[in-house]
């Protein structure tokens, strides 16, 4: 049995970091960082000016991850400090994007929501406060961030080399989302091809409702999973927030590999999880994404360190992308 990050936890992170969900690192839907490669320069944000509200939002978001689902810090960031640094950069680049409706008070309101949410229903609690606001660009217009679009959704195509996307309609809760899993309205995520609202502690998960950040579905109810060395089975799952998996009916900690370390499992052992947004490369080592302003793409493709995107062969932040082909 391997120790890969549970898909339900990936789904919740897509919502939690919706402006970074087009990162092309090959597995992370969020800005990441840490380790020997990311630690050197990934905390920098090019020329994007940082603002106090973004610092508060980054701190509150990453504190919530660390408290409710610490596996996210390990897998996508490598350290709490770099989680904060990359989220601050993401926020600042959204504020600086051309024609965006996103303003500093929006970041402050989202930070306040995270600070008071707790771990029993984090994403449900912050949904309204952290939802992107409507911009001026109509559906079909080019965009770089959600805040530029009247629909509050910029559909980013990972296959594009420009880093830009297209303003597109959101998908309502309980509607089909198989055409675009990233388009669900705030407070929901695409689960079972339906935009399902997140279920908080004690709420039903019987009909494929995704449990909130760090919670697991046990006997059709969202709750806390088992701790390390606890007994487990299909009815009593392990704590996904810690990245635990059930091995031989015992909750077992994941095996990590830092950037540059081997991701090839010893015979009979589980697959190591590459940390700090790195991915297991063909040479059997965890490969970090490229840092801001450095080359990306190629064969095999080298992705960017979110929220930067690969555009014209370099990793650029959203505010560095013109994306001005549509109406403003």
End-to-end distance of the chain based on CA atoms, in angstroms?
51
Contact status, residue 255 vs residue 272, Cβ threshold 8 Å:
yes
Inside any domain, residue 92? yes
For range 251-276, the mean pLDDT: 91
Inside any domain, residue 328? no
For range 320-328, the mean pLDDT: 68
Strands 256-257 and 273-274, bridge-based pairing? parallel
From the list 105, 116, 164, the residue with the least C-alpha distance to 140 is 164
Q: Give the pLDDT confidence score for residue 49 in this predicted structure.
A: 67
Share of the chain above pLDDT 90, in %: 74
Contact status, residue 279 vs residue 286, Cβ threshold 8 Å:
yes
Give the integer Cα–Cα distance in Å for 93 and 195: 28
What is the length of the chain? 328
pTM over 0.75: yes
Inside any domain, residue 326? no
Asked if residue 33 has pLDDT above 70, the reply is: no
Contact status, residue 144 vs residue 164, Cβ threshold 8 Å:
yes
Give the integer Cα–Cα distance in Å for 326 and 9: 34
Contact status, residue 148 vs residue 156, Cβ threshold 8 Å:
no
Give the integer Cα–Cα distance in Å for 242 and 249: 17
Q: Give the pLDDT confidence score for residue 322 in this predicted structure.
A: 85
Inside any domain, residue 194? yes
Contact status, residue 198 vs residue 210, Cβ threshold 8 Å:
yes
The larger pLDDT score, comparing residue 162 to residue 257, is at 257
For range 289-312, the mean pLDDT: 91
Inside any domain, residue 195? yes
**Band of residue 70 on the pLDDT scale cut at 50, 70, 90:** very high
Return the HEC string of 219-237. CCEEECCECCCCECCCCCC
Q: Give the pLDDT confidence score for residue 199 in this predicted structure.
A: 96
Q: Give the pLDDT confidence score for residue 325 in this predicted structure.
A: 54
Asked if residue 45 has pLDDT above 60, the reply is: no
**Band of residue 47 on the pLDDT scale cut at 50, 70, 90:** low
What is the tens place of the pLDDT at every residue in 114-124?
999 999 999 99
Inside any domain, residue 206? yes
What range defines the domain where residue 234 resides?
A: 7-320
Angle at which helices 80-96 and 52-68 pack, to 10 degrees?
A: 140
Inside any domain, residue 1? no
Domains in the chain, number: 1
What is the tens place of the pLDDT at every residue in 165-201?
999 999 999 999 999 999 999 999 999 999 999 999 9
Neighbours of 73 (CB within 10 A): 21
Inside any domain, residue 325? no
The larger pLDDT score, comparing residue 9 to residue 88, is at 88
Q: Give the pLDDT confidence score for residue 267 in this predicted structure.
A: 80
């Amino acid at each position: 049995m391997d120790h890969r990050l549970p898909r339900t936890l990936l789904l919740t992170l897509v919502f939690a970091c919706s402006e970074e969900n087009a990162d092309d690192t090959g597995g992370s839907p969020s800005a990441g960082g840490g380790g020997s490669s990311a630690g050197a320069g990934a905390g920098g944000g090019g020329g994007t000016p940082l603002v106090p509200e973004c610092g508060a939002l980054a701190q509150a978001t990453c504190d919530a991850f660390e408290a409710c689902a610490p596996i996210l810090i390990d897998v996508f960031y490598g350290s709490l400090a770099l989680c904060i640094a990359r989220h601050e950069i993401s926020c600042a680049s959204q504020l600086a994007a051309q024609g965006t409706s996103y303003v500093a008070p929006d970041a402050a309101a989202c930070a306040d929501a995270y600070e008071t949410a707790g771990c029993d229903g984090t994403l449900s609690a912050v949904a309204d406060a952290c939802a992107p606001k409507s911009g001026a660009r109509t559906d079909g217009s080019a965009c770089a961030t959600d805040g530029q679009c009247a629909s509050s959704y910029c559909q980013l195509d990972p296959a594009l080399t420009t880093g830009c996307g297209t303003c597109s309609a959101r998908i309502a809760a309980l509607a089909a989302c198989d055409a675009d899993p990233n388009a669900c309205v705030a407070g929901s995520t695409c689960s079972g091809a339906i935009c399902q609202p997140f279920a908080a502690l004690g709420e039903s998960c019987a009909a494929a409702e995704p449990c909130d950040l760090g919670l697991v579905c046990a006997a059709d109810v969202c709750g806390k999973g088992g701790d390390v060395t606890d007994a487990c089975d299909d009815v009593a799952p392990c704590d996904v927030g810690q990245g635990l998996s059930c091995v031989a009916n015992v909750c077992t900690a994941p095996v990590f590999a830092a950037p540059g370390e081997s991701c090839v499992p010893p015979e009979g052992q589980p697959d190591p999880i590459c940390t700090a947004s790195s991915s297991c490369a063909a040479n059997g080592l965890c490969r970090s994404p490229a840092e801001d302003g450095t080359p990306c793409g190629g064969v095999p493709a080298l992705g960017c360190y979110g929220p930067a995107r690969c555009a014209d062969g370099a990793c650029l932040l959203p505010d560095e992308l013109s994306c001005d082909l549509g109406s403003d």
